[in-house]
Structure 1
Amino acid sequence: MPDGTYAPRQCNGFTQVCWCVDTDSGAAIEGTETQPDQGYLLDCTATEVHQPELPPDDLTLCQTDRWEAERANTRGAEEVFSPLCTAAGAYEPLQYHIEGYFTCVDFNGVEVSRHDSQVDCLTPCRRQAYYAETDNLFSGTSTFVPQCDENGAFSSVQCDAASRTCHCVGDNGEEIPNTKITTNNPELVTSTQLECDRYNPSVVRPNTAARLIFAQGMGVNSVLLPVASDSASTRLYSRTGRTAIGV
């Protein structure tokens, strides 16, 4: 234009596709692009300039992706993937796609694996830790984050640095009663110190046999307990001069 601004209508000379622009910035006005060879019908002088709508500043990355996808889908174009977000705004570990498949994603929404059906992307411990960490990050909460072992299972001893306490948990991560202690160094507490295996009913303990030691005559003898049969019991208790010492 003579004043140095953009002409309100811009066209591709080869395809004859035209669109309206903001005369100050030259930015294309959404929804004004014509079909090929129909650009001459476009009247940009009567077109109201609309600046592109931007997402709110306080959205998380997942919420921003979802916001943009929902607006793109309302414009009637080809459907765009809209991610699932947690209540705090993090990406849900499992995402469903309109093409009919599922993906496991990381904290940034990047695909880790793809599946034909629903799967558990995280172990129960890692899933609980993920939700707690993202809630604390995005919502400013102080939710306890469980510790998981290298296989993703709940560590048998769980410690909270904020409250300076440690306690034992079962395989499901639930606290075992009467195991909580207070300590100034929770990071140094081990399951052995708390005897977590002793309180965990799921721990298989070795079947150690007890032995009864007794004196008989001039010597000391022993027998495994419990006595396996009536005959063995009869032989044990009918021995002359027997004196039980202990187990």
Structure 2
Amino acid sequence: MGSVAIMRPKTQCEQHRDSLQSGNGGVSLVGAFIPQCDEEGQYRPQQCHGSTGHCWCVDSRGQERAGTRTPPGAPRINCDEPVLPKTQCEQHRDSLQSGNGGVPLVGAFIPQCDEEGQYRPQQCHGSTGHCWCVDSRGQERAGTRTPPGAPRINCDKPVGFWSNGISL
């Protein structure tokens, strides 16, 4: 006695994938993103674009989760971990790095963030060599700017310890 296969209706992911694969007379468009579905027909938590190499995490509806996109060659992120919203420093840095079609403007200052995404206490302009201390919002602390080649100052000292960048 043979087994009977019961066909389940196609899931949203399978319909999405199949519509893109057969949308052009049965020929998928070269370079088009085709969503990846798991064995149950659900969106795989991590989607990767075969042509560009970019990967990102998606929710159960296949919508990209903000802040999860990685460029080709970058370490892939764990899509099962919750995504923390970007900090002010990370948003500031990323807006400057991607504001010109993904290419930072030559000579533009790009803020440096620490491992927790906060502004590093000392910021330095890569092109000019000037360094200065900032507060937790990334605002320059008065009297802390040093010219290129000058000894760096300790930005962990309380406000009022500087006069023209020299420790008092």
Q: TM-score range by the shorter chain?
A: 0.3 to 0.5
Choose between structure 1 and 2: higher helix proportion.
1
State the TM-score, normalizing by the size of structure 1.
0.35
TM-score (norm 2): 0.47
Query: Which has the bigger relative contact order, CA under 8 A and spacing at least 6?
Result: 2
Rg: which structure is higher? 1
Hey, which of these two has a bigger chunk of strand by percent?
1
